Amino acid sequence: MKNIALFASGSGSNAENIIKYFENHPEIRVDSVWSNKSSAFVLQRALNLGVESHYFTRHEFIETDKLLNELQKRKIELIVLAGFLWLVPPEFVKVFPIINIHPALLPAYGGKGMYGSFVHEAVLQNKEEESGITIHMIDKEYDKGANLLQARCPVFPDDSVDTLAARIHELEYEYFPKAIEDYLCPKTK
């Protein structure tokens, strides 16, 4: 079995979708969920689905090896950032492959401060006709690193942040688990 660790900071609807997708998977299992926010709903979602969930502090994440060691002990093969809002320290990037999802078509609407509804607000403000998602590998900078996949959706003139976010979430639910699966179990063509 290939073990995944999910990192999330908020609601965790992507984390839930990924957990459900891999529930009975023959090769991939979600080992655990990790959050930098003790009140994040993702921790409850994980618990409800019978997946271990953990909270960690910035100190533990940035200044100690605690988390890194724990993930190595668990034989994690891939870290998946599913709405995780902190920059990942370089030590992690050196040890683990890390996949992130971003709710826009990078390099547009990426970088520091561009997350969740801020992204959709900016897209609407600029009257874009199209947005989408980017699933990519993480390197030492925000929203950089090789793209695995982009998927697009229209933006309508009467969209609100909520309607656009809902459309983007649908793309995320469809493509994110499959991108993880393709990464860990590439099909031979």
- Note the residues at the interface with ligand GAR (CB under 6 A): 8, 10-14, 82-83, 101-103, 115-116, 119, 168-169, 172
When CB distances to ligand GAR are compared, the closest residue is 83
Instruction: Compare residues 71 and 83 and give the one whose CB is closer to ligand GAR.
Output: 83
Instruction: Give the pair of three-digit tokens for residue 135.
Output: 């699933």
Instruction: Give the pair of three-digit tokens for residue 169.
Output: 């979430």
Q: What is the DSSP letter of 62?
A: I
Instruction: Compare residues 28 and 119 and give the one whose CB is closer to ligand GAR.
Output: 119
CB of 103 to ligand GAR, least distance (A): 4
CB of 73 to ligand GAR, least distance (A): 26
Instruction: Give the pair of three-digit tokens for residue 128.
Output: 């874009």
Instruction: Assess whether 136 carries a catalytic annotation.
Output: no
**Strands annotated E in the chain:** 2-7, 28-35, 52-55, 76-81, 98-102, 130-137, 147-154
CB of 69 to ligand GAR, least distance (A): 26
Cβ–Cβ contacts within 10 Å for residue 174, how many? Answer: 13
CB of 146 to ligand GAR, least distance (A): 16
CB of 8 to ligand GAR, least distance (A): 6
Q: Which of these is catalytic: 25, 54, 59, 102?
A: 102
Whose CA is closest to 8, among 48, 49, 50, 38? 38
DSSP bridge partners of 183: none
DSSP bridge partners of 102: 134
Cβ 42 vs Cβ 12: under 8 Å: yes
Instruction: Compare residues 101 and 105 and give the one whose CB is closer to ligand GAR.
Output: 101
Instruction: Compare residues 39 and 73 and give the one whose CB is closer to ligand GAR.
Output: 39
Cβ 1 vs Cβ 28: under 8 Å: yes
Instruction: Compare residues 72 and 117 and give the one whose CB is closer to ligand GAR.
Output: 117
Cβ 164 vs Cβ 128: under 8 Å: no
The tokens 């271990």 sit on which residue? 52
Residues catalogued as catalytic:
102
